[in-house]
Amino acid sequence: METCRVPTSDGWTLAAEHREPEGSPAGVVVLAGHALLANRRSLDRPRGGGLVSRLAARGFRVYTFDVRGHGESRPRTDEGGRWTYDDIVREDFPALVQFVSRRHPEEALAVLGHSLTGHAALATLAWNPGLPVSAAVTFGANEWLRRLEPDRRRWREKILCAAAMQVAAALFGRLPARLLRQGSDDEARAVIEQLAWWVRRNRWLARDGFDYLAGLAEIRVPVLAISGAADRLLCTPESFRIFHEHLTSTRVNRIMVRGCEWGVSKDPGHMDLVLDPIWRPVWDRAADWMLENVHNAHARAESHHGEHGHLAASS
């Protein structure tokens, strides 16, 4: 395994771990990201036997990364340790996609994100649809908006949770994950304030007003969306469904994982799907989907570019 350092245009250095495929290469690179209050290590639990190791065993070249402020992704100086959700969307994802694409120009690229990086990956493709991405896979991705959560009781829980996170972030200057026993990595106060603002305003907006939710309709790459039936707050089944219905210009495969359908005695929660190897069959389903869809999407994109190049040469 190789640790790569990826610079962003605003002075951060992102850490990414590169794993070569085992056996015959699938010809697909997977760029995989983690949840809020976590880092890239959450995608391979136990080490060598988790999700990304399984993808490598299936022949995928895999890059797991830490978004800014998480894991080993830090600013170049002691200053600049503040960041927003928009920085992840407009700086981190484009820098990582371009880095991986330059390294492997002949291979198709799929992005895979859990929770935070799942919806941030879609927000990135909505904001910058020209990025060389052929497919997206999300685990437990949605947004906390009233229009996406029909259950009144759960919506009240989300309001209270968002308010509590905002108070904690204001008190400590950040959301202290370890202190609150909610994860491994602290989150920036500005990120938490932005999430809380979305809850209050019922809109998923960038700070400059770009509407991420409306932008989902511009995404053209195929999407596989996976979530757990026992996720009672962070990505409830109904909000998961309604969120992905906004992807109106592409094919979306949604999988709501119920244990009885996978030979497991319990339903998975929000973190279980990426942390517990018992859900390896779900990981294999995601791998099968990428093998089927990523190459097709990549070929269509290459054909599209070729046709435009031919027309330009003819004219």
Q: Give percent of the chain above pLDDT 70.
A: 92
> Is it the case that residue 299 has pLDDT exceeding 70?
no
Average pLDDT rounded to a whole number, residues 165-169: 96
Residue 157 resides in a domain: no
Confidence of residue 295 (pLDDT cuts 50, 70, 90): confident
Q: How much is the pLDDT for 201?
A: 97
Rounded Cα–Cα distance for residues 99 and 18 (Å)? 12
Residue 158 resides in a domain: no
Q: How much is the pLDDT for 75?
A: 77
Determine phi and psi for 181, rounding to 5 degrees. 55, 45
Q: How much is the pLDDT for 173?
A: 93
The domain spanning residue 68 has which CATH number? 3.40.50.1820
Residue 232 resides in a domain: yes
Rounded Cα–Cα distance for residues 19 and 68 (Å)? 21
Burial of residue 310, with CB atoms counted within 10 A of its CB: 0-12 exposed, 13-18 middle, 19 or more buried: exposed
Average pLDDT rounded to a whole number, residues 28-54: 97
Determine phi and psi for 253, rounding to 5 degrees. -100, 115
Give the model confidence (pLDDT) of 96-110 as tens digits: 999 999 999 999 999
Average pLDDT rounded to a whole number, residues 270-284: 97
Rounded Cα–Cα distance for residues 24 and 16 (Å)? 23
> Is it the case that residue 80 has pLDDT exceeding 70?
no
Q: How much is the pLDDT for 304?
A: 54
Q: How much is the pLDDT for 77?
A: 47
Give the model confidence (pLDDT) of 254-265 as tens digits: 999 999 999 999
> Is it the case that residue 307 has pLDDT exceeding 60?
no
Confidence of residue 298 (pLDDT cuts 50, 70, 90): low
Residue 179 resides in a domain: no
Residue 154 resides in a domain: no
Which domain range does residue 41 map to? 2-149+207-314
Average pLDDT rounded to a whole number, residues 284-305: 80
Confidence of residue 300 (pLDDT cuts 50, 70, 90): low
| pTM metric for this prediction | 0.93
Residue 127 resides in a domain: yes
Parallel/antiparallel/unpaired status of strands 135-139 and 108-114: parallel
Q: How much is the pLDDT for 1?
A: 83
Neighbouring CB atoms inside 10 A of 77's CB total 8
Residue 29 resides in a domain: yes
Give the model confidence (pLDDT) of 172-228 as tens digits: 999 999 999 999 999 999 999 999 999 999 999 999 999 999 999 999 999 999 999
> Is it the case that residue 79 has pLDDT exceeding 50?
no
Q: How many distinct structural domains can be found in the chain? A: 1
Identify each DSSP E strand in the chain by its residue range. Answer: 2-7, 12-19, 28-33, 61-65, 74-75, 108-114, 135-139, 174-175, 187-188, 223-228, 252-257
> Is it the case that residue 162 has pLDDT exceeding 60?
yes
